[in-house]
Structure 1
Amino acid sequence: MNYSSTLSAVVSALAAECIDNTSKQAWQRRIGEGEGRPGNGPAGVDRVELDCWVHGRLHSQLIPRHWHALVAKYSTHKARKVEAISALRALVATPAPALFLYKAVTAWAIPKLKGVQVAAAKTVTVEVPVQASAGKQAKIVAAAVEAARVKAKREEARSSGAIVLPAAFYDMNTWDPDASPESTRREWRRNIGKVLDEMVGEALQEAERILLAEGVLLSDAA
């Protein structure tokens, strides 16, 4: 069982951290009992166990900044992603204020998702006929509230499993308390993103070297 690319291996391995402990314990026990490592064929390791194994190999073999770059960019584990973002902030040299750096790194790691927003607390506005009986007025209000509740649940379902930031977070006007010129802010953001993208590129190259050495890439198996 092999991966088609380094990126697919990284994404799958990072996603493995979100699975339940039962699968993790299974692969740890199987590898510990000497049944062979994933990628070698007869060990009988399934995809979930392979993902867990690769996760462990990458975590142990990559240097911290490369690991943090991959986790910040590709992980779906909220706590790990936040930790990685915090670690990367300390590695980026920039003349931008600390608040700007924090928001730029966070926006890079959690880009705005089109059509997905954070559900905010809302009130319901409804027109109730004055001449209607009290019972009918109550039914009209209840129906409006229920419709709003259903809509909120639908929006919540769309964004479940993803880290979603408020739309206002991506407004660069809120990133710089000193109100520097827009051209300056854009340059700061571009350079911060460039440094982070370079880290990811380096990390993927190192990850590919590790995965090739372990024999879990299709290009190596072919």
Structure 2
Amino acid sequence: MIYQNVVSAVVRALASEVINSAGGCDFEPKVQAARVPGAICGKEEAFLTDCWVHGRLHKALPVGLWLALVAKYSTHLERKHDAMQALAGSIKSPAPERFVQCAVATWAFPKLPGVEGKRSTSVLPAAWYDINSWDDGGKPDSTLYRWRSAIRRSLEDQVNEALIHAQEILDREGLIRCAA
């Protein structure tokens, strides 16, 4: 399997954690005679590649960068929550701890368009997105927005660095499609 780009590879790899085989009947053959006899192909081949990429990235990336990818792209809510907590603890900011935790949470679960942001079950309640409720100290809005911006910039920098490392790993393995 060849991925279109590094983000699709990371998203698929992280999603492989929550995929199970309880999805009903599968009438497609697991093995096709046209290929190497006994070779796994199709959806099963793609799933195995996703699992391999997940393991490879998890092992090869530094812990902080792996956590940034999990917090940003994972659909496994427990792992995403754990990664968010770890990232919040590692952020250097003059903001109070509660503010940092809220900023990380709203970065990991961005408000989605739609009816009250409910296009997905993975959104926070609307009150979480009110930046004024993150700090009890009565700081001016400009300070709150500056803190939030710095925290998000730090998180995005970590994600970008992780994607660069992931790109290098996947390029070495020949798993990213080259533009013609």
Q: Please, what TM-score do these two structures have when normalized by structure 2?
A: 0.84
CA deviations on 1:25-63 (whole Å, 9 max, x unpaired) are xxxxxxxxxxxxxxxx96645111111111111111111
2:131 counterpart of 1:172: yes
Q: Does structure 2 conserve the Cα–Cα contact (< 8 Å) formed by 1:69 and 1:203?
A: yes
- How far apart in 2 are the matches of 1:174 and 1:53? 42
Percent identity of equivalent pairs: 48
The within-5 A match list for 1:94-113 is 94-113=93-112
Amino acid at match of 1:79: E
- How far apart in 2 are the matches of 1:164 and 1:192? 19
Question: Where in structure 1 do 4 or more consecutive aligned residues deviate above 6 Å?
Answer: none
Aligned to 1:16: 16
Aligned to 2:25: none
Aligned to 2:57: 58
Gaps of 5+ in 2: 23-34
Gaps of 5+ in 1: 23-40, 119-154
Amino acid at match of 1:86: Q
CA deviations on 1:146-186 (whole Å, 9 max, x unpaired) are xxxxxxxxx7xx53xx4121101110110001010110001
- How far apart in 2 are the matches of 1:192 and 1:103? 10
Q: RMSD in angstroms over aligned alpha carbons?
A: 2.1
Amino acid at match of 2:19: I
Amino acid at match of 1:113: L
- How far apart in 2 are the matches of 1:6 and 1:173? 36
SS across alignment from 2:178? helix
Aligned to 1:75: 74
- How far apart in 1 are the matches of 2:56 and 2:74? 16
Computing the radius of gyration over CA atoms, which structure comes out larger, 1 or 2?
Answer: 1
Moved more, 61-70 or 108-117: 108-117
- How far apart in 2 are the matches of 1:79 and 1:98? 21
Instruction: State the Cα distance separating 1:117 from its structure 2 match.
Output: 4.5
- The count of corresponding residues between Structure 1 and Structure 2 is 163
The within-5 A match list for 1:140-159 is 159=120
Instruction: State the Cα distance separating 1:79 from its structure 2 match.
Output: 0.5
Instruction: State the Cα distance separating 1:21 from its structure 2 match.
Output: 6.5
Amino acid at match of 2:15: A
Amino acid at match of 1:55: H
Instruction: State the Cα distance separating 1:91 from its structure 2 match.
Output: 1.6
Amino acid at match of 1:195: S
